[in-house]
Amino acid sequence: MKPIYKYLLFALAVPALASCSTDEPGVETLPEGKYPMEFSVDFAPQTRVSASDDGMSCTWNDGDKITITVTQNGQVQTATATLDANGNITDCTPTIYWTSTAPADVKAIYHNITFVRYTNQSDGLAYSMKATTTAEFGRCVQLNMEHQLAQIRMKLSGFNPEDYGNAMFYGYVYYTLDEDGFTTKDKNGRGYITMYYDRTSGYFIANVGPGRITTAAVPLFYFYNGSGDNFSYDYDIKAGQVYTFDLESEKPALKINGHEAVLMRNASGTPGSADYVPPLYFATCNVGADTPYDGGLLFWWGDTKGHTADSGFDFSKNNSEIKMFDSCQEYFDNGMLTSPLTTENVSDGTLTPEYDAAVQHYGSPWRMMTFSELQWLWTETEQELCPSDEASGHCAYVKYTSKETGNSIILPLTGFFYEPWAGSPESEYGGGAMYWCSQVQESSRGGSCWGIAYIILKDLFSYSNLTPAETYSGLSIRPVANL
């Protein structure tokens, strides 16, 4: 796929200006509340999402507000100016007065940004504008508002955009928003920003923070239905410019480190805060599988090599090849856990990357699911048991559809080795599967350490749930990733 891109400076449009007084009393110090400052606004066209006929320019909305801060002689005055649809100031409260005939520093800020509005612009674009100037006594103060964000426009030809779902751009999601307006905060803090679809022009559009965006293990553009671009990129995104990508390609798929991925859970909360939850992507295949319907390899807990179901590998506590310990503390002491368990039956001990099969086979940021992510898969998806299909050769599987994104993955029911079923779930329960997570808990059976797994049984589908499992059991692994 070859992107065709253009760099366009925001065009300048000048609305009608408020009339300005030129009377000057000719004194240095002025009586309080005697001489009000007067302001006018000069602005670029893409200040709001009210689209013009060209599908590119935009206008002010009636009632938009600008915060004006004036510093003169060490005194700071702040007011809120209200605009009409033509950009004329209809109100400025409270009134700002000259304190002397000395020049004054003026700053004006406009934005409509919240974290949700910035990271999800599907219902309207995010904007941040700023003007700084030096006011001269007796002159109208003209506020030349400049964009602090860049605009990204993308069109993928050859396909109906509505078949893709919302598109997303991989840009900077960390920022500060204060008296200086919008500032990209963390140059490493990138994530997906959902774009607005403009039906007039056929482009997906997002206004994003400036900064350099370089080739990464993730697509620059990605669609909610699981497809994404696959070209390399290196762009220095600058505020106030428009970047247009006209893409031509067959329907692409999102890949992370060369492995297809599906967005199952969107980000939530504020980046950098305790409530932030990053987006969660699931691989489309098990570790060791070539297609979503293949079972792939089976692993004991902490194994990174894996074994096929028909390899004859002995998944039992008698096998000296399996690394087993009597307690979770011993797993931590031997370097397999990132932290010891702090509370009995609480799964806060996690496999280190060295013993994480997803990390070792797929590479970071891929990893094994955590206990909470197993719970999320179990409780926050719609689940459909699908029978085997002899014509296609597909085994029975369960389809999981995210209640949040509408995207789906499948988990094949291709067997496992777990002692309570004596390694024969196929004959007794008609097929099933078990999937490891990366965490453990102390077992109530004699205080030994058990891995946590998700068990799915074809003929007892309603029984499927989360369960502890002996760490020597042979189970499947489905990688996940956060971006």
Same domain as 132, residue 158: no
**For the residues 67-71, what does the mean pLDDT come to?**
95
Q: What is the CATH number of the domain that holds 182?
A: 2.60.40
Structural domain includes residue 274: no
- pLDDT of 8 reads 32
Structural domain includes residue 270: no
Same domain as 345, residue 415: yes
Percent of the chain's residues with pLDDT above 90: 26
Q: Which of 152-161, 185-194, 202-211, 231-240 has the highest mean pLDDT?
A: 202-211
Residue whose entry in the numeric block shows the structure tokens 């002995």: 314
Same domain as 346, residue 453: yes
**For the residues 147-168, what does the mean pLDDT come to?**
76
Same domain as 360, residue 333: yes
Structural domain includes residue 459: yes
- pLDDT of 353 reads 92
Same domain as 141, residue 159: no
Structural domain includes residue 273: no
- Report the predicted TM-score, pTM, of the whole model to 2 decimal places: 0.52
Same domain as 42, residue 15: yes
Same domain as 429, residue 335: yes
Name the domain boundary from 211, 232, 265.
Answer: 265
Same domain as 56, residue 187: no
**For the residues 298-320, what does the mean pLDDT come to?**
90
- Residues 259 and 257: their CA atoms lie apart, in Å, by 6
Same domain as 260, residue 228: yes
How does pLDDT run across 164-222, given as a tens digit for each residue? 667 888 888 888 888 788 888 766 677 889 899 888 888 889 999 888 887 555 678 87
> Residue 266 — very low, low, confident or very high, per pLDDT cuts 50/70/90?
confident
Residues near 462 by Cβ (< 8 Å), separated by ≥ 6? none
Structural domain includes residue 275: no
DSSP 368: P
282 pLDDT above the threshold of 60: yes
Sequence-ordered strand ranges (E) for 370-431: 381-386, 397-402, 408-412
**For the residues 345-359, what does the mean pLDDT come to?**
80
Cα–Cα distance list, 379 to 372, 383, 463 (Å): 10, 9, 14
Percent of the chain's residues with pLDDT above 70: 76
Same domain as 165, residue 95: no
Q: What range does the domain containing 17 cover?
A: 4-113+122-147
The tokens describing 171, both together, are: 């840009």
Q: Is 369 exposed, middle or buried (0-12, 13-18, 19+ CB in 10 A)?
A: buried
Closest CA to 96 of 110, 75, 119: 75
Q: Per the structure, how many domains does the chain have?
A: 3
Residue whose entry in the numeric block shows the structure tokens 């999320």: 376
Structural domain includes residue 22: yes
Same domain as 186, residue 80: no
Structural domain includes residue 336: yes
Same domain as 159, residue 99: no
- Residues 38 and 194: their CA atoms lie apart, in Å, by 39
Structural domain includes residue 291: yes
